[in-house]
Amino acid sequence: MQLGSTVAIGVIDCGRRGVGVVALEAVDAEQFVGEYVGEVTSSREACQRAKRYQHADHWYMLQVSAEQVIDATCVGGRMRFVNHS
């Protein structure tokens, strides 16, 4: 795993959609941008948390395996705001 960010990024307000991350410079295909950090939890615990979060405006989870999820909702870095668009 690589640490830190190799690309200049900014966090912007996306209105009702919350916040997002934008690259402030060109990003090459396959280039490391940054780490997704948060609380590592089991998939079972993540399902329970998702039920608690269902009425929250925004919550951030990344499933990394069948058994593990990173929950960045309460504790996380800027990369939790990245999306695929």
Summarised one tens digit per residue, pLDDT across range 19-58 is 899 999 999 988 888 899 999 999 999 999 999 999 998 8
What residues contact residue 85 under an 8 Å CB cut-off, 6+ apart? none
8 Å CB contact between 72 and 80: yes
Predicted confidence at residue 4, as pLDDT, reads: 64
Predicted confidence at residue 62, as pLDDT, reads: 95
pTM here is: 0.79
Segment among 5-9, 23-27, 64-68 with least mean pLDDT: 5-9
Q: Is the pLDDT of residue 1 over 70?
A: no
Share of residues in the chain with pLDDT > 70 (%): 92
* Domains, the chain, ordered by start: 9-81 (2.170.270.10)
What residues contact residue 15 under an 8 Å CB cut-off, 6+ apart? none
Predicted confidence at residue 17, as pLDDT, reads: 84
